[in-house]
Structure 1
């Protein structure tokens, strides 16, 4: 049993590298098997097909993200800073997410949709309690936060290529992102008072 689990983990590790580099369409099961040190048939036994393997990897890593990054609607700037730190250290995951978005081979995993909906609901509740400004709808606000927090990851077409010097000082960049999120989250509320 231990050997089977070890083989499965080697497949997942090799597949993560393959999919993050080539996407679903460009990934090759032969390369995954070779890099995992197993027979190609083992991949089909464990995962049925390449798309299921991709979805398994995506769900595994998203579950880790949701576990490690607690959403804090009462501290959106802090949340954005934590997302920034996490994603800058996870270039393979960010490329995997980019490939998922580009190829749209499958529906978004149910857990991703559920977590997103819970965050939007928490933002709406925070807005109703006066903790977060109401200038922007919660869905837009969440998208803006995630976009800012991940703008300088290697998979983003803007931050790294248009402003590469910013990433040379990650602490300053992190603080700028947190401040931008703080201002967006407060909205026009402060200026109206």
Structure 2
């Protein structure tokens, strides 16, 4: 019985990721999610309480997948940034979910915010240790900037296409962007190691 419950929950999360990434919280429909998952609509409410609860759980599961696949910054920070880029290129749903979350939640506190903030704090600490700087606000800004470098081209692929697309085909463009992202991250890391993190 517990296994069936876990399987149903996973099916719902997979279907919800697809629906929410495409349509956001307001546009997503619980009946479509249930149909995609092959379960009764009431299962959504039984597992997650509401559509908003399902959305929060979907984002959380996608973030956990990123953490599991990419981990914390290691010795080669630029390679880690490349891995973040690759993750988002191969699985653009997480960035779409985060953009929908930003639109629907604005500046208000997110469900599970403390848990997510704790996860980022671990990454800030790991990055600071690798850079040889204090794990304070400066290191946090560096982490945010490195994630931005890796994520932004995949969050707004239309900009990448408009800016670079006329010069290269899509596959070559992705490789050029990835290479530039890793090189920029490497230069940023070298600069911080020689001068320290921003205050």
Structure 1 residue aligned with 2:22: 21
C-alpha distance in structure 2 between counterparts of 1:173 and 1:149, whole Å? 9
Contact 2:131 2:189 (8 Å CA) reproduced: no
Contact 2:48 2:54 (8 Å CA) reproduced: yes
Q: Structure 1 residues 75-84 or 179-188, which shifts more? A: 179-188
Q: How many residues align?
A: 186
Q: 1:159-187 CA distances to partner (integer Å, 9 max, x unpaired)?
A: 34433347532333222111111111222
Contact 2:21 2:94 (8 Å CA) reproduced: yes
Higher helix proportion = 2
Structure 2 residue aligned with 1:119: 123
C-alpha distance in structure 2 between counterparts of 1:124 and 1:189, whole Å? 10
1:168 counterpart = 2:198: no
Unaligned regions of 5+ residues in structure 1, if any?
131-135
Contact 1:152 1:159 (8 Å CA) reproduced: yes
CA positional deviation for 1:45? 1.0
Within a 5 Å distance, the mapping from 1:1-193 to structure 2 comes to 1=1, 2-104=3-105, 107=110, 109-128=113-132, 137-155=138-156, 158-164=159-165, 165=168, 167-169=170-172, 170-187=174-191
C-alpha distance in structure 2 between counterparts of 1:88 and 1:171, whole Å? 11
Unaligned regions of 5+ residues in structure 2, if any?
none
Contact 2:25 2:55 (8 Å CA) reproduced: yes
CA positional deviation for 1:87? 0.9
| TM-score, normalised relative to structure 1 | 0.83
CA positional deviation for 1:57? 1.2
